[in-house]
Amino acid sequence: MNQTRLVFGDEADALAYWTGKEWKKWAVDVSAGPTKRPTFRQTYYARARTRDAAIECVKRNLLRKPAGARFVARLAGPRELGCSPSA
C-alpha cells in the first residue's frame, strides 16, 4: 500500500524551489518539554546539503541546549524567508 503525505502552500513551494540544488536552506525547529505543550520552542535556519547536516550545524552553534531537546529539520519556504510574490 502506498502512503502519501499532503503538502501545503509554503512547503510545496520550498520542495519545488530546492529540488536539484546542492546547498539548501533548512529551518530547524528545536523544542523541549512535553510534546503537546513544549516549554521551549525556537526555529533556527541553517544552510547545508542534508537534513542531518543542518541539525548538526544547529546543535553545534546553540549557545544553550535545553534539556531533552528535539530537533526537526524541514526545507525553508519562500514566505518564511521573507520573500514576496512579484507581479
Radius of gyration for the chain, computed over Cα atoms and rounded to the nearest angstrom: 15
pTM of the model: 0.81
Task: Break the chain into its structural domains and give their ranges.
Answer: 22-75
Provide the mean pLDDT of the chain: 87
Of residues 34 and 11, more confidence is placed in 34
Q: In the β-sheet with 40-48, what is the strand arrangement from edge to edge?
A: 40-48, 24-32, 70-75
- Contact present, 76 and 25 (Cβ < 8 Å): yes
pLDDT above 70 coverage of the chain, percent: 89
Q: Nearest 5°: CA angle at 5, between 80 and 42? A: 35
pLDDT at 42: 94
